[in-house]
Amino acid sequence: MASTTDRKPRILVPEKVSVDGLALLSADYEVDSRPQGVPPQELLALIPDVDALIVRSETKVTAEVLRAGSRLRVVARAGVGVDNIDVEAATAGGIIVVNSPAGNIVAAAEHTVALLLATARNVGRADRTTKEGRWERGKLVGVEVGRKTLGIVGLGKVGMKVARMCIGLGMKVIAFDPYANPDLAQQTGVERLVPRLADMLPEIDFLTIHTPLLASTLDLIGEAEFKLMKPTARVLNVARGGVYNEAALLEALNKGVIAGAGLDVFTKEPPDQNTPAWQLLRHEKVTATPHLGASTVEAQENVAVDVCTQVAAVLRGELPTSAVNAPLILPEEYRALKPYAKLIERMGGLYTQHFASASASHVGVGGRHFELVYHGELAGVSNSRPLLAALVRGLVSPFSDTGGRHVNIVNATAVAREKGIVIREIHAHSGIGSGNEGSAYASFVMLRALATVEGTESEQQDREKTGGVDPGSQVIEGYVSGNNVYISRLDRFNASFSPEGTLLILHNFDEPGKIGGVGSVLGRHGINIRFMQVASLDLGRQKGGQDDAQPAQAPALETSAKKNGDEALMILGIDGDVTKDVVEDLRTAEGILNVSLVRL
C-alpha cells in the first residue's frame, strides 16, 4: 500500500551492526542506529514509529514489543538463531522475520580447518609452553593431514565447505548424512557416503560434526563410538556442545583411546569449574577456543549486508531470501493452517528420529520419496506451501546446520531438491485412516515414506483413493483438535499422543509386566514420566492384507515378535537426562524389541 505521506520508512538498529550493511539503507531510509543498546522500556517507547527492526542477540523482541509495533513490517536477525524473537507473535501480527543462515558458513568452516591443523601439529600446546620459556620441540611431534581420512557428520552448507577445503589439503573425505544429496557430494569430491555412523569410525583419522543439537545428536559420540576409532584419531567440534559426550571424551583422551581434540563449543559456556568440559579446556591433548566459529570481521559484515538487503526488499514489497516465518500467505489462511503446519513439522521430525534412526535398512543414503496426503477439509486447501515447508523443515532438522530454521515456504522446494527429498502432495477428500471413517476428524494428515516409487499410474491412483500402504513403506498419521496436535498412527500401530517434548518410543511384546519393568528402569535413572500411552496393533489393517508393512526394527526382531505373540508400542513423555546408558538399559530389558529417543 502506498504511504499517505512522504515520510521515509524508519529502521531501528538497537545493537552494533556492521556499517557496511547499514550503508545499504541510509540513502532510502531513516536509520536510527544505537550501538550502545536500547533498554526494554525505551524499545517499547520507540517501536510504534518503526517500520523495520534489525537486531543481533541481545535485544529481546517480545510479543509485547511486536504488538506495540503498529508500523512494524520486518524484524531482521543479523545472524542465524532467532531465539530472542517471538516468531509466532510476529507471524500472527503479519510481521516478517528474516535471518542470515549463510553469513557465517565460511567462518565456521575455516575455524574447523584451523582446529584440525592445530590439533594435528600441537599448535596450542606449543604456543603455551614456548611462551612459558620451555623449548619442547621433541615432545610436540605432530602428524600431516595430507593423505589422511576425514569423517564428516552432517553435509549441510558448513559440512560441505569443510569437505571442499580439506580435499584441497589432500585429505580423503567420507561422510554420514541420511539426507545428503549423493550427486552433490560426489561432485564436491566426497569419496563416499556411509549408511551408518559406525561404518566410518574405524577408518577415519579426523572426525568433525556439523549438526544441530537434538535428541538424535545429543551424545552422538560417546564411549562406544570412541572405542571404534583409531588411537591416532582426533575429533573436532565447531557445531554444538553436547554432540560429543564430554565425560566420555575426557576419558578417551586420558586413556589414549584417541589422540586429541579441537573444541570450540561446550555444553555450558563458559564451563563450570571441575566439570568434564572445564577439564577438557585445560587438557594437554585439547586445543580449545571460546566459541569463535562465527567470530570474524567478514562474517559479521556478511550477516549485516545480508539482512539489510532483505530488509530493503521487504520494505519495497519484494520477497526476502531467508524468511523464518511464512510471509506469502494471507493472515486468515495462516490462522487456519497454523496447527496443521505444526503437526506436519512434528511428523517429519518423528519420522527422522524414530523410523530413520531405528534401522539402517530403511535409511540408506541418497534420495527419499514421501507422500503427504491431506484428508477431509484440509484436502480443499489451495495454498499448501506452508505445509510442505513444515514437512521439509521437520525432516531435515536433525542433519541441518541450523536445525531446519532456514527452511520456509520460499526455499522449501529448493532445500528438498538439494537434500534429494521427493515429496508428492495428495489431496484425498475421502476420510480414510486411523479408524476415522465417518468423519471422526474434520481433517487429518498422512505421511508415507515409500519403500519404492515404482508402480503403474493406475496403482498410484488406487493408493490415493484407498489410503493404502505399499509393503515396506512407513506411515505416520495425525490430526488437529482445537490448537492441539496428535499422532493417531505410527506404522502398524494405532496411537493417540501429543508429539512434543522428549519422547521414548519402545516396541515391545504386548505382555503383562512390561510397563512396570520400563518404569523401574527409568526410576533407577531418575527420569520422570509425564505421560504414557500404549499403542496397539491395528488389527483391521492386518486383516485387510496390509500386514506386510514393516515397522522400524530390524527384520530379525520382527520375526521374533511374530513368533512370541502380539506387539505394541509404549510411548512415554519424559523429563530428565536420557543418556545412552538409559536407552541401552531399556533396549536390553526382556521383551523390548527396539527403543527410539525423540525430541520434538
Q: Identify the bridge partners of residue 172 per DSSP, sorted by sequence position.
A: 149
Give the C-alpha separation, 430 to 439, whole Å. 9
- Sheet with 234-237, strands from edge to edge, namely 192-193, 172-176, 149-153, 206-209, 234-237, 260-263, 286-288
In order, the DSSP letters of 465-528 are HHT---TT-EEEEEEEETTEEEEEEETTEEEEE---SEEEEEEEE--TTHHHHHHHHHHHTT-E
Long-range pairs for 542-548: beta carbons < 8 A, 24 or more residues apart:
542/492, 546/468, 546/469, 546/492, 547/492, 548/471, 548/472
Contact 478, 445 (CB under 8 A): yes
Active site (annotated) includes residue 240? yes
Burial (CB count within 10 angstroms: exposed 0-12, middle 13-18, buried 19+), residue 126: middle
CA distance 445 to 97: 28
Within 359-434, residue ranges assigned H as helices are: 360-363, 385-396, 412-419
CB 79, CB 99: distance < 8 Å = yes
58 and 36 in contact (C-beta within 8 Å)? no
Cα dihedral 373→377→383→385 (10° resolution): -40
Is 569:493 a contact under the CB 8 Å cutoff?
Answer: yes
* Known active-site residue 203: no
Residues 6 or more apart whose CB falls under 8 angstroms from that of 368 comprise 179, 395, 419, 420, 421, 422, 449
| CA dist list (Å): 562 to 107, 225, 510, 568 | 53, 32, 11, 12
**Which residue among the candidates 58, 136, 269, 511 is catalytic per the annotation?**
269
Helix H or strand E segment including 592: strand 592-599
Does 269 qualify as catalytic in the annotation?
A: yes
* Angle at CA of residue 581, ends 576 and 583, nearest 5°: 75
Q: Which helix (H) or strand (E) holds 66?
A: helix 63-68
**Distance separating alpha carbons of residues 324 and 263, to the nearest angstrom:** 29
CA distance 50 to 277: 43
- HSE of 527 in the Cβ direction (CA atoms, 13 Å)? 25
Q: Where on the phi/psi map is residue 147: left (φ > 0), alpha (ψ -120 to 50), or beta?
A: left
- If DSSP codes are grouped into helix, strand and coil, which group holds residue 15? coil
Q: How many separate helices (H) and strands (E) can be counted in the chain?
A: 23, 22
The residue behind cell 465417518 is 438
Select which of 291, 424, 427, 525 is catalytic: 291
CB-based contact 69:50 (threshold 8 Å): yes
Residues 6+ apart with CB under 8 A from 415: 392, 396, 406, 407
Residue labelled with grid coordinates 497454523 = 338
The residue from 56, 210, 240, 541 that is catalytic is 240
Closest alpha carbon to 391 in 464, 478, 305, 456: 478
Indicate which residues carry an active-site annotation: 240, 269, 291
